[in-house]
Structure 1
């Protein structure tokens, strides 16, 4: 089986599972954006996915994401648009300015210093960068990215007030080993409150290969799915 055929088959299975989850939740499939998380996979895979109709991809490391985008331009078939690039991983402040120059959306804004660095980078590139506030439901789990729920409003206001940033909503990664349902339900409540204050904050990024059906039940608009589409990840170099 060719790599294209493999990706096509995996993508079809995931699309059917998303459709089933939407039907069970009483939602329309077009309410959901699938982000194929292509981190550690080659630009050739991204080009194949784009040719199969994938419009959004996710990356989590700089400069891998930047280099892959640059390579991608020479791999896309005629008439195939470059997918939107979502930066979905934890981001060091000293790399934020570079990421702000090429990412279409950053899902992992979790502290004021990072927001200000992204704003400076986007302003220098003369562009407006879509941003999501990453929410941490892990509590005392040191090292986990995200702002605690009680800090979301303050950070969101800072993002919304930056001329070079556009507040688009919230993101979370459900804590490992825990039932994701209560966390996704809590995220939906936070998102509702945020949207009431900032009309542009209409994105809820939640759900990955193992838990996206639960995320759909709780209003997720963007699913970040990697392994189910691309297979087991190659080891990091």
Structure 2
């Protein structure tokens, strides 16, 4: 079996899961965008995905992402930065990312805005919500989310896209994604254009779709067990 065959099979399985979750939730399949999370996978896998019709690609490490994006400029892809973002990496990330999913503090809003204006770009940004008390996973406290959304909406060079979250370890993801859904509804009340809800990965995309996710971030189920990234 070729690598293209492997990826095509993984994609078919993931598409079946997303379609089934949408049907169960009474949602059109078109409401959910698949983001292929390609961290540690080579650029050649991204090229295969693009040939199979996948146009949204997620990365969480700047050095690896910048290199891949730079080598695939001939493809029409939307690049999503989905990892925790340090301010010293903002200039690089703004250079290639169309969407940043991990905005969780005012200082980051300011840094992204400054670099987007400098680069003459508009970057869509999502507020990352902490659904647990683990600081290592990033995210703003739920109580701080409305204010951070307001700051993003007012900043130059960026567009408030909506919210993102990762389900807490050891908790029912459905309950966590229900809390995210409620926060997303509250944010949309003040910012009707903030329609994106980025939630759900290989293990919990079904629960995420059931609770309103518009974007699911899938790596392993799509591309197989991760290998070390080789340049």
Do Structure 1 and Structure 2 share a fold, with TM-score over 0.5? yes
Q: TM-score, length-normalised on structure 1?
A: 0.94
1:70 CA displacement: 1.0
State the shift of 1:72 in Å. Answer: 1.6
Q: CA deviation at 1:156?
A: 0.8
Q: Could you list the per-position Cα deviations for residues 53-100 of structure 1 after superposition, in whole angstroms to 9, with x for gaps in the alignment?
A: 001010001121111011123xx6xxxx42200000001111012211
Of residues 105, 111, 119 in structure 1, which corresponds to 2:105? 111
Q: Which moved more, 1:81-90 or 1:105-114?
A: 81-90
Tell me, in whole angstroms, the C-alpha distance in 1 between the residues paired with 2:88 and 2:107: 10
Written as runs of structure 1 = structure 2, the 5 A alignment for 1:205-220 is 205-220=198-213
Equivalence for 2:19: 19
Q: How does 1:116-135 map to 2 (within 5 A)?
A: 116-135=110-129
Q: Using the alignment, how far apart are the partners of 1:218 and 1:224 within structure 2?
A: 15
More helix by share: 2
Per-residue deviation, 1:143: 2.1
Counterpart-to-counterpart distance in 2, 1:104 and 1:133: 15
Report SS of the residue matched to 1:57: strand
Q: 1:5 maps to which residue?
A: 5
When the two structures are superposed, what TM-score results if normalisation uses the length of structure 2?
0.97
For residue 176 of structure 2, what is the aligned residue in structure 1? 183
Render the CA deviation track for 1:89-118: whole Å, top value 9, x for unaligned. 001111012211210000000011111111
Distance (whole Å) between structure 1 residues aligned to residue 22 and residue 136 of structure 2: 33
- Runs of 4+ in structure 1 over 3 Å off: none
Match of 1:95 in 2: 89
1:229 match: 222
Instruction: Check whether the contact 2:41–2:229 (CA below 8 A) recurs between aligned residues.
Output: no
Unaligned runs of 5+ in 2: none
Q: Any conservation in 1 of the 2:200–2:216 contact (CA below 8 Å)?
A: yes
How far apart are the structure 2 equivalents of 1:56 and 1:106?
13
For structure 1, list consecutive stretches of 5 or more residues without a partner in the other structure: none
Conserved? CA contact 1:98–1:121, under 8 Å: no
The count of corresponding residues between Structure 1 and Structure 2 is 230
Contact kept in structure 2, 1:44 and 1:72, CA below 8 Å? no
Tell me by how many angstroms 1:182 deviates: 1.2
